[in-house]
Amino acid sequence: MLITVIGHLLAICIGISLGLIGGGGSILAAPVLIYVMSVPAKSAFAMTLVIVGVASLIGAIPHWRQGNVNPKIIALFAPASMLGAYLGARLASLPFITPTIQLVTFGVMMLIASITMIRKGASKSENPLDKAGHSDRHTVIPKWLAIALEGLAVGTLTGFIGIGGGFLVIPALVLLGKTPMKEAVGTSLIILALKSVTGFAGYFGHVPIDWTLLLSFTIASSAGILLGSYLNQFVSAKQLEKGFGYFVLAVAVFVLIKR
């Protein structure tokens, strides 16, 4: 009973982090399910996709109201991303893909995500990607194809280890799609929700799902998102993101050691 309470309190904390910094928090859902709630790794990654999808939809509502969602970019990025998520999930559900392989991949991606958040939080610029240069690095292939290929790659990763991948999607939209940062954040949330649906579809019927736990965990994290969104107006998300990045880094090391 105590473990269940602790797990759901952590789910609320995950939601709060999502509401405060707009991303990254969902990457902690799988470790909580695996190491606190004792859910098998493959099932945990599948369940995380639902949590990520619901969280993204809730987070996208204020962005949609503010006009920070670009339907054209969604039309380019989402289909390939959704296909990739389904293929990644089907790959992960194959017998020769062991939980260890998934956990190591997940741990490495957590390391990358944590470094991204730390660097972003330490940057003095409001938009650290502004200095990355918007030069056309993909002149060999059309921009629309570059965006679609990026969507396929990120989607595959999402399906394979259950992460939203916002830390990969947003830079892709800014650098490849020349999308303003605020618009990229709002647009990415819709993309994350869409590819989470197809990613979960790839797992469905191939791994056991604890539906009761999934429902309660999703409700808890959703409540946290609403609370985090309210608190966001009182705190500096930039400094929080840096601190949260160090926390994710510590969890990543734990996952890689514990695997």
Domain ranges across the chain: 1-127+147-258
Of 23-32, 130-139, 154-163, 213-222, which gets the smallest average pLDDT?
Answer: 130-139
Model confidence at 170: pLDDT above 80: no
Instruction: Record the pTM.
Output: 0.80
Residue-wise pLDDT tens digits, 172-182: 787 777 778 77
55 neighbors 221 (Cβ within 8 angstroms): yes
Give the tens place of pLDDT for each residue, 80-110.
999 999 999 999 888 888 888 888 988 888 8
**Cβ(177)–Cβ(65) under 8 Å?**
no
Chain segment 141-158, per-residue pLDDT in tens: 777 787 788 888 888 988
Which residues have CB under 8 Å from 164's CB, separation 6+?
Answer: 23, 26, 27, 52, 55, 56, 158, 192, 196
Q: Residue 57 and residue 45: Cα distance in Å, rounded?
A: 19
HSE at residue 252, side-chain half, CA atoms within 13 A, is 20
